[in-house]
Structure 1
Amino acid sequence: MQLSKSVSSEKERKIGLGNIFKSKMATILIATVAIWILFTVLTGGNFLTTRNLSNLFRQMSITGILAIGMVFVIILGEIDLSVGSTLGLLGGIAAILNVWFGLSAIPTMVITLLLGIVIGAWNGYWIAFRNVPSFIVTLASMLVFRGILIGITGGNTVAPLTADFKTMGQAYLPTAFGYVLVVLAVAGSAYLILGNRKNKIKYNIEVKPMAFDVSIIAAIGILSLGLVLILNDYQGFPIPVFIMLVIALVLSFVGTKTIFGRRVYGIGGNRDAARLSGINVKKHILVVYSMVGLLAAVAGILLTARLNAGSVAAGQNAELDAIASCVIGGASLAGGTGSVVGALVGALVMASVDNGMSMMNTPTFWQYIVKGLILLIAVWLDISSKNKK
């Protein structure tokens, strides 16, 4: 027993606390803080008001949900250029069902979610079973779905929605509920982090110092409490943000703690080896794309509810924001690398840039230029780090 403890301590010392600050996630978080400070100065302090931060997180929820799905696609070593058009089409269909056909919120959402799975499976079928490159399949779908949206709406905005539907995108949870979420966040992170540490020690795998794990749990608690205090100071916890966090929690668990998640990483790391080891690669591709379609449906419902209308312009370029969020968050376009948490942090960066430049009344063309350069630099840094290794 004493020998085991000394070995564990020695491993902790070898890893060292200095490497903590060299991690990509730490760099991204520092960059996010820098962006917030910059926009706070440029907007005379208006960027960090509770009202704007609440709006920022609400805006982030759409990109965040898309990025959560996109990161699984990227881990597979594939791409999906159609999620923006899928969001727009499904949001438009939801508006048509609610406004033109008079369906209430629940049946409208159920139908829309099912259609999202079907659309995602359509993409997955051509990629997995017909061996058409994902770039071509999803590029074609991007055009097809946008065309269908324009056709079924006649190019018109479909509005207004019923009150029960609008609740999904515009309502807030009770303030007390936010504090319950803080407790759950701390308890859940402690269970996962300390459980993972215990398993590593059990199988003689190197672990970081205990102080590091404790600091991570404390940081999650502080950040969660800070987020809740900010949101409660305005009107409460927005429902879209809550939905995004629940999806992130579930799919983070799927990606890191299930056989399916490990196989997705294995396929992205070496597809031939995964196939030879008995993994049904085609099935996993189909499931992942179906999941992306489902998440695009969720995002489409939330965006339509928030805008109180189905618009033909909804979701334009959303796929680029989702891809950029994943890459900024550490996902590699070569496959095999990425995380849900990283995708959310990347989505926060993209939403912060959008929100800050909008507050400054920056011309639209400059917003496109800045976001394009962010994506380019993120990919370049990813490639450079791989070359160094």
Structure 2
Amino acid sequence: MNKTKVISFIKSNTMILMLILVTLFFVWQTGGKILFPQNISNLIAQNAYVFILATGMLLCILTGGNIDLAVGSIVCFVGAVGAKLMETYDVNWIIAVAFMLVMGIAIGAWQGFWIAYVRVPPFITTLAGMFIFRGLSNVVLQGLTVSLTDKAFIRTFGGGANCYIPDFLGGDGFNVTAMLAGILTCIIFLAVKIKGRIEKAKKGYEMESIVAMITRSAVISAVVLVFSYELALYRGIPTALVIVAIVVLAYAYITAKTTLGRHFYAVGGNEKAAKLSGIDTNRIYFFAYTNMGFLSALAGMMTIARMTSAQPTYGQNYEMDAISSCFIGGASAYGGTGKVSGVIIGAVFMGVINLGMSIMGVDANYQKVVKGGVLLAAVIFDVVSKKKNG
């Protein structure tokens, strides 16, 4: 019986265990450099766009394994328009941000209309969007780089040297605010887990063993505390992390606790059955791609803020990073299966691989080979699992 529980625990936590093993491998190969506080902070800054885009991409994938190939081009186009507004036309950054968000939503709605109501395949619609908005980015920027000078915009969206939350508790060389935030996060996480288990017990639902729950909770809490300690040793909490946390928590709640979230899983599981049960499947598709446009705009703002400029080449392969994070994090290639928490683990997994190989000085071409192999392995695992269960 114990052996069965161990096997079940390993299966349900495969990606967490793989993430730990990969991290330990790079700790060994880099002499511990990957865990330097500055590298941990860079991991967040460099992959913030992945977390944002992958969260939105999950909703597209849930509808039946569909993807959005245009997100990288939308990131570039929205960022280009925003940079031109702020720098060339001297538009206030708050107005520019509002315009960029509206523009992202409009682009997402435009693609969502063709996919949801005309039933043009998502692959074709978003492939067209990828070319269209990449081309428009070049038109807007005229092939040139536009540098950003608005410090308020740059700082708010995670760029520049001062893109960190101030230490309100006045730590000397150690950011007490960052450490306290980590402790509070663990307390809230444990309280939610305990409350959820009590509610399941009252309703008579099947639950994982108490040992498995304690083990998982202890590991996650330990990771959060170590992560917070590393940030506290550097400059504290990056503003990009705050934005990512808000997005992740909001969409985790939507997918897990709302009727809209359940509809996504229903459509992905069996669209015809979902339609017969009264779900407006067209609306679900439309929302998924409109939402993807909104999050692409947000990622665009974070990208130009981090780079303090806009270029026609920004956003290249962003869609691949987002898609990879979803599938590596457990989203099914067939749709109907996947969680935001899994997507975040997948994004961190990809970030650790990128950072570790960069520190080791691995050639960029070999990095692509490794990332492609990891993605293929994740999808093969999903397909084989589905066949076994079937």
Global fold match (TM > 0.5): yes
1:157, CA displacement in angstroms? 1.0
Distance 1:348 1:362 in 2: 19
**Residue type of the partner of 1:52?**
N
User: Of the candidates 88, 91, 96, which is equivalent to residue 100 of structure 1?
Assistant: 88
Q: For the Cα contact (< 8 Å) 2:164–2:236, is it kept in 1?
A: yes
**Contact kept in structure 2, 1:99 and 1:160, CA below 8 Å:** yes
Contact 2:45 2:306 in 1 (8 A): no
Map Cα deviations across residues 7-61 of structure 1 (whole Å, 9 max, x no partner): xxxxxx899742453224x221222222223323333332221111110122121
Q: Distance in 1 between matches of 2:67 and 2:250?
A: 22
Q: Which amino acid aligns with 1:367?
A: Q
Task: After superposing the two structures, state which structure 1 stretch, 217-226 or 376-385, moved more.
Answer: 217-226
User: What CA deviation, in whole Å up to 9, does each residue of 1:184-213 have, x standing for no partner?
Assistant: 423432343233323332332211223433
Kindly report which structure 2 residues correspond to 1:1-389, keeping only aligned pairs within 5 A, or say none.
17-24=5-12, 26-77=13-64, 78-167=66-155, 168-170=157-159, 171-174=163-166, 175-389=175-389
Summarize the Cα distance change of 1:98–1:133 in structure 2 as closer, same or farther, 3 Å threshold: same
From the superposition, tell whether residues 356 and 14 of structure 1 become closer, same or farther in structure 2 (CA, over 3 Å): closer
Native 8 Å contact 1:86 1:297 kept in 2:
yes
Correspondence for 1:9 = none
Q: Secondary structure at the match of 2:310?
A: coil
**Higher mean C-alpha deviation, range 90-99 or range 61-70:** 90-99
Deviations 1:328-351 (A, max 9, x none): 000001000011111111111111
Question: Does the aligned pair in 2 maintain the 1:90–1:300 contact within 8 Å?
Answer: yes
Q: Which amino acid aligns with 2:165?
A: L
| Cα distance change, pair 362–211 in 1 and its aligned pair in 2 (3 A) | closer
RMSD (CA atoms): 1.9
Question: Structure 1: any 5+ residue segments left out of the alignment?
Answer: 1-12
Unaligned runs of 5+ residues in structure 2 are: 167-174
Q: Is the 8 A contact 1:173 1:237 kept in 2?
A: yes
Distance 2:21 2:90 in 1: 47
Conserved? CA contact 1:267–1:281, under 8 Å: yes
Distance 2:39 2:179 in 1: 21
- The alignment-based identity, stated in percent, is 35
- Contact 2:179/2:232 (<8 A) preserved: no
Separation in 2, partners of 1:247, 1:327: 19
Question: Aligned pair in 2 of structure 1 residues 250, 209: CA closer, same or farther (>3 Å)?
Answer: same
Contact 1:90-1:297 within 8 A present in 2 as well: yes
Post-superposition offset of 1:180: 4.5
Q: Distance in 2 between matches of 1:259 and 1:180?
A: 34
Partner amino acid for 1:99?
E
Show CA shifts across 1:58-86 (max 9, x none).
21211111101111111111211111111
SS of structure 2 residue aligned to 1:237: coil
- 3-state SS in 2 of match to 1:65: helix
Structure 2 match to 1:7:
none
- Give per-residue Cα distances to partners, 1:326-379, cap 9 Å, x unaligned: 000000010000111111111111111222222233222212221111111111
Q: Is the 8 A contact 1:185 1:220 kept in 2?
A: no
2:38 alignment partner AA: R
**Inter-partner Cα distance in structure 1 for 2:181 and 2:3:** 33
Equivalent AA in structure 2 for residue 266 of structure 1:
A
**Structure 1 pair 15/82, CA: closer, same or farther in 2 (3 Å)?**
farther
**Contact 1:255/1:262 (CA < 8 Å) preserved in 2?**
yes
Tell me the TM-score normalized by structure 1. 0.91
Query: In structure 1, the residue corresponding to 2:309 is in which secondary structure?
Result: coil
In the other structure, the counterpart of 2:171 is none
The answer to whether the 8 A contact 1:265-1:336 is kept is yes
What TM-score do the two structures reach when normalised by structure 2?
0.91
Q: Distance in 2 between matches of 1:312 and 1:227?
A: 34
- Give the conservation status (yes or no) of the 8 Å contact 1:159–1:310: yes
Distance 2:347 2:50 in 1: 6
1:108 to 1:337, Cα distance in 2 relative to 1, 3 A: same
Superposed CA offset, 1:199-258 (max 9, x none): 332332211223433444443332222211111111111111121111111110110001
Partners of 1:359 and 1:325 in 2: CA distance: 21
